[in-house]
């Protein structure tokens, strides 16, 4: 029962979409009307001022941190509680009920969750993805490779922890699903370089 409560609490945290809130508040515009239409940090960064994007980054990261810390508080020393709160936050960010279930792609909140569950895996994925992004110029490619790498690294580092592996598979699969249009464009050679301002 507690796990369900933590998932729901995480979902509520996730539904607070700072990209939508801050672009309306600071830019007097709706991020969903620009670029890819995605209500997330990357699309904000490409279409609005750096200050606004940085605040979105901080807000989205903090909502994941708050949900996870609450899980630690309610169920200390229980990793499954962290998984439940993390998944709730990711689902809330991606499919916020208050915004007709259209949110971001969950890369940032997923990254925060990964670091909390195992900083070694988080560090490997973060460094690897950033290198891929800067070498190729595609944010989506780095994100997708990171999503695929997460369950693989989890199996390597935690082969005897099925709950962790299931968590990693769900997070990775959800991220790939959220990037399905990007994958199609990558395969067709039509994906936009991250230096341009029309992808999210």
List the single range of 36-40, 48-52, 192-196 with lowest mean pLDDT.
192-196
Residue 200 lies in a domain: no
Residue 196 lies in a domain: no
* Section 28-32 average pLDDT: 95
Residue 194 has what pLDDT?
60
Residue 35 lies in a domain: yes
pLDDT surpassing 90 at residue 3: yes
Burial annotation 171-195 (CB, 10 A radius, 16+ → b, else e): bbebbeebbeebeebbeeeebbebe
Residue 193 has what pLDDT?
76
pLDDT surpassing 50 at residue 199: no
Q: How many domains does the chain have?
A: 1
* Section 67-88 average pLDDT: 95
Residue 199 lies in a domain: no
Q: Using alpha carbons, select from 102, 118, 105, 97 the residue that is nearest to residue 13.
A: 97
Torsion angle of the four alpha carbons 167, 170, 171, 174, in this order, in degrees rounded to the nearest 10: -170
Residue 194 lies in a domain: no
Residues spanned by the domain of 13: 2-188
Residue 144 lies in a domain: yes
pLDDT surpassing 60 at residue 195: no
Residue 108 lies in a domain: yes
Residue 48 lies in a domain: yes
pLDDT band at 197 (very low <50, low <70, confident <90, very high): very low
Residue 58 has what pLDDT?
97
pLDDT surpassing 70 at residue 99: yes
pTM of the model: 0.92
Q: What percent of the chain has pLDDT over 90?
A: 87
Residue 61 has what pLDDT?
97
Residue 200 has what pLDDT?
39
The mean pLDDT of the chain is 93
* Section 46-66 average pLDDT: 96
Measured N-to-C along each axis, helices 79-94 and 50-74 cross at an angle, to the nearest 10 degrees, of: 140
pLDDT surpassing 50 at residue 72: yes
pLDDT band at 1 (very low <50, low <70, confident <90, very high): confident
């Amino acid at each position: 029962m507690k796990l369900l409560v933590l998932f729901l609490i995480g979902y509520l945290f996730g539904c607070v979409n700072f990209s939508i809130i801050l672009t309306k508040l600071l830019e007097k515009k709706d991020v969903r009307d620009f670029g890819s239409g995605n209500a997330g940090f990357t699309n904000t960064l490409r279409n609005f001022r750096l200050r606004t994007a940085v605040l979105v980054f901080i807000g989205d990261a903090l909502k994941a941190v708050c949900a996870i810390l609450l899980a630690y508080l309610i169920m200390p020393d229980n990793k499954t509680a962290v998984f439940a709160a993390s998944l709730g936050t990711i689902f809330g960010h991606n499919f916020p009920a208050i915004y007709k279930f259209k949110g971001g792609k969950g890369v940032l909140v997923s990254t925060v969750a990964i670091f909390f569950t195992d900083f070694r895996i988080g560090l490997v994925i973060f460094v690897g993805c950033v290198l891929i992004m800067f070498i190729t110029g595609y944010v989506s490619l780095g994100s997708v490779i990171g999503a695929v790498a997460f369950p693989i690294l989890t199996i390597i580092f935690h082969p005897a922890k099925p709950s962790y592996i299931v968590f990693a598979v769900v997070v990775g699969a959800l991220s790939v699903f959220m990037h399905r249009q990007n994958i199609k464009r990558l395969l067709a050679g039509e994906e936009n370089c991250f230096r341009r301002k029309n992808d999210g």
